[in-house]
Amino acid sequence: MVTALLWCNCALGAEPRVLLLRGWFGVFSTGLDKIAEELKAKGIKAEVAGHLYWSAAVTEILREQAAGATGPLVLVGHSQGANNVIDIARSLEAHKVPVTLLVTLAPYMQNPIPANVVRAINYYQSPGWGAPLAPDRGFHGKLSNIVVGDAWSVSHINIDKSARIQAEILRQIAALHEAKEGAEDVAVSHSLPAGGAHPR
């Protein structure tokens, strides 16, 4: 029972890891940098990179997993970066590595969402750029396709800068971080009797 508790605390109490991938040329996705800055201010590990980094990211994530990383994995991408975070998830599926949250902003001609994704959220324009995500065979997670085409102030090159969309993404990721902190509180409250301490 103690072993099970320790394993549970490790899995639930681990830090989220957030990777955000920019689109082509990396100059139109600066909204991702703002998201990363706000996440870091909350104590959440976040990294922004160009979309060509995606294959190297797979190698890095697998290395971290082999070293014992167990925290939630979050992938966020804009434009071509959105397509490539799906590619990351698919590559990780072959190694049975789950993706806790996958967020895409205006992907185009993208692949289906693989079965190792727990939660997928897609923001796209209709009419406009982007398309709904489709689940792949075996997908049993939660998939949300959110149309932003009725907001004429939002376009393909600035969808990542929408304050409303940024706030929604931050809220989803913060919820994972709060769950981690809650697990740590539970671990502390349950470990006191095991350590011989007694309430007074």
Options 3.30.70.360, 3.40.640.10, 3.30.9.10, 3.40.50.1820; CATH of 15-184 = 3.40.50.1820
Instruction: Please report which confidence band the pLDDT of residue 151 belongs to, taking 50, 70 and 90 as the band edges.
Output: low
**13 has a pLDDT exceeding 70:** no
Query: What is the identity of the amino acid at 14?
Result: A
Look-up of token digits 């409303």: 164
Distance between CA atoms of 86 and 110, rounded to whole angstroms?
A: 8
Task: Decide which of 27 and 49 is more confident.
Answer: 49
Range scoring the smallest mean pLDDT among 26-30, 94-98, 118-122, 158-162: 26-30
Q: Does pTM surpass 0.85? A: no
pLDDT at 189: 33
pLDDT at 99: 98
| Cα angle for residues 30, 31, 35 (degrees, 5° grid) | 120
* pLDDT tens string 16-48: 999 999 998 777 899 999 999 999 999 999 999
What is the token pair recorded at 52? 């060509």
- Cα–Cα nearest to 178, from 32, 2, 39, 31: 39
pLDDT at 107: 93
**117 has a pLDDT exceeding 90:** yes
Show me where the domains of the chain are located.
15-184
Question: In a 10 Å sphere around its CB, with 0-12 CB exposed, 13-18 middle and 19+ buried, how is residue 110 labelled?
Answer: buried
What is the token pair recorded at 73? 């994995």
